[in-house]
Amino acid sequence: MGLLWQIIKIGLFADIEISRNEALAALLRDGETLEDMMKLSPEELLLRWANFHLENAGWNKINNLSSDIKDSRAYFHLLNQIAPKGQKEGEEKIDINMSGFSEKDDLKRAEYMLQQADRLGCRQFVTPADVVSGNPKLNLAFVANLFNKYPALTKPENQDIDWTLLEGETREERTFRNWMNSLGVNPHVNHIYNDLQDSLVILQLYEKIKVPVDWSKVNKPPYPKLGANMKKLENCNYAVDLGKGPAKFSLVGIGGQDLNDGNPTLTLGLVWQVMRRYTLNVLQDLGGGDKVNDDIIVNWVNRTLTEAGKTSSIQNFKVVLQKYYMIQTGDMVCDA
């Protein structure tokens, strides 16, 4: 169930970030910048999105997608707000029947609500019992699906917003970030440099490649207000020590301060080596324990391309990995 949930979560959350959906800027609060929004997790964005529509409906704010939605009433208002109004060309109006809102029985009310969700093609992930019990994972998936199909947001055009901040993430960075999230790291990586500044994600990745981590040496959030960055830096120094020691990575010129500062080149240099080791380990396991290396994989890929009638070739293992993970995360379309 854990692996299945991670796969579903990756698919549902793919576009719930400001760099992939600029209309999310409509959720900016007074004094906030796009950079502030880029630091929010998909879960936080979904909660803010739901409250945006609930406020427009004149309904109470919710603080979670578990206990606060058990009575289905917030869902009724959310569905009513996001349902197509038929105001756009070619858009069919869908009226939400709110009569079930006054039903006294929670389970029956949840069923009536889901019947309305079904009219939007969104009756997935939850049953009435899941709603009433406040199952957090399934309700999160339900709301993410609603957002993906009917965000009902308009990109702000007249606000003083620095849109150039969204131009920062390259395809390579997105590939690395999606790969990390596919392994179920916690917290979810939304901004590759900001979210690795305490090295907690890097240390989790180390465990995925069988590098032992002594978690008693690791500082964990919440960090103290005074000295928070020092605690994060200690984690980064430990991550570099493990990388140079047990992991035997090439980390010449990379220090803990570089990770803590979010240095793009040096951070990606470390993450790339972790991804490479992870993939080689997986291939070795699939091959029954036979040793594999960069040259073996590159030669195999090029031989396969030639046999398929392709004239192109791959020059190095890094290109192989990037193309593979781009395909896996939906950032690249293969040639037919």
Half-sphere exposure of 239 (CA within 13 A, CB side): 30
**Predicted local confidence at residue 121, as pLDDT:** 94
**Predicted local confidence at residue 278, as pLDDT:** 87
**Predicted local confidence at residue 299, as pLDDT:** 63
Q: Rounded mean pLDDT of 307-335?
A: 51
Above 90 in pLDDT, residue 88?
A: no
| Stronger pLDDT, 256 or 324, i.e. the higher one | 256
Q: How far apart are CA 116 and CA 134, in angstroms?
A: 19
| Stronger pLDDT, 68 or 287, i.e. the higher one | 68
The average confidence (pLDDT) of the chain is 85
**Predicted local confidence at residue 291, as pLDDT:** 59
Model confidence over 169-211: pLDDT tens digits? 777 788 888 889 878 899 888 888 989 999 999 999 999 999 9
Q: Rounded mean pLDDT of 113-132?
A: 96
Q: 3.20.20.70, 3.90.1150.10, 2.120.10.30, 1.10.418.10: which CATH number matches 2-149?
A: 1.10.418.10
Residue 327's pLDDT band, with cuts at 50, 70 and 90, is: very low
CATH of domain 169-328: 1.10.418.10
Rg value, the chain, Cα? 23
Model confidence over 51-65: pLDDT tens digits? 999 999 999 999 999
Q: How far apart are CA 181 and CA 156, in angstroms?
A: 29
Q: How far apart are CA 111 and CA 117, in angstroms?
A: 10
Above 70 in pLDDT, residue 302?
A: no
Above 50 in pLDDT, residue 1?
A: no
Q: Is the dihedral of CA 283, 286, 291, 296 positive or negative?
A: negative
Whole-number percent of the chain with pLDDT over 70? 80
Model confidence over 23-32: pLDDT tens digits? 999 999 988 8
Q: Rounded mean pLDDT of 285-293?
A: 57
Whether 2-149 and 169-328 share one fold: the answer is: yes
**Predicted local confidence at residue 287, as pLDDT:** 54
Burial class (CB in 10 A: 0-12, 13-18, 19+), 172: middle
Assess contact for 81 and 96: CB atoms under 8 A: no
Question: 35 — phi, psi (to 5°)?
Answer: -60, -40
| Stronger pLDDT, 73 or 159, i.e. the higher one | 73
Q: Rounded mean pLDDT of 271-289?
A: 76
Residue 34's pLDDT band, with cuts at 50, 70 and 90, is: confident
Q: Rounded mean pLDDT of 284-310?
A: 57
Residues sharing a CB contact under 8 Å with residue 72, sequence separation 6 or more, in sequence order: 106, 109, 110, 112, 113, 131, 132
Q: Rounded mean pLDDT of 36-54?
A: 91
**Predicted local confidence at residue 298, as pLDDT:** 58
Q: How far apart are CA 103 and CA 307, in angstroms?
A: 65
Q: Enter the DSSP assignment of 93.
A: P
Q: Rounded mean pLDDT of 99-121?
A: 97
**Nearest to residue 98, comparing CAs of 119, 121, 123?**
119
- Alpha helices (H) in the chain, listed in sequence order: 2-13, 34-38, 42-56, 73-82, 106-119, 128-133, 136-149, 171-182, 200-208, 228-244, 256-261, 264-286, 294-307, 317-328
Model confidence over 211-251: pLDDT tens digits? 999 999 999 999 998 999 999 999 999 999 999 999 999 99
Helix H or strand E encompassing 167 = none
| Stronger pLDDT, 15 or 49, i.e. the higher one | 49
Domain boundaries, the chain: 2-149, 169-328
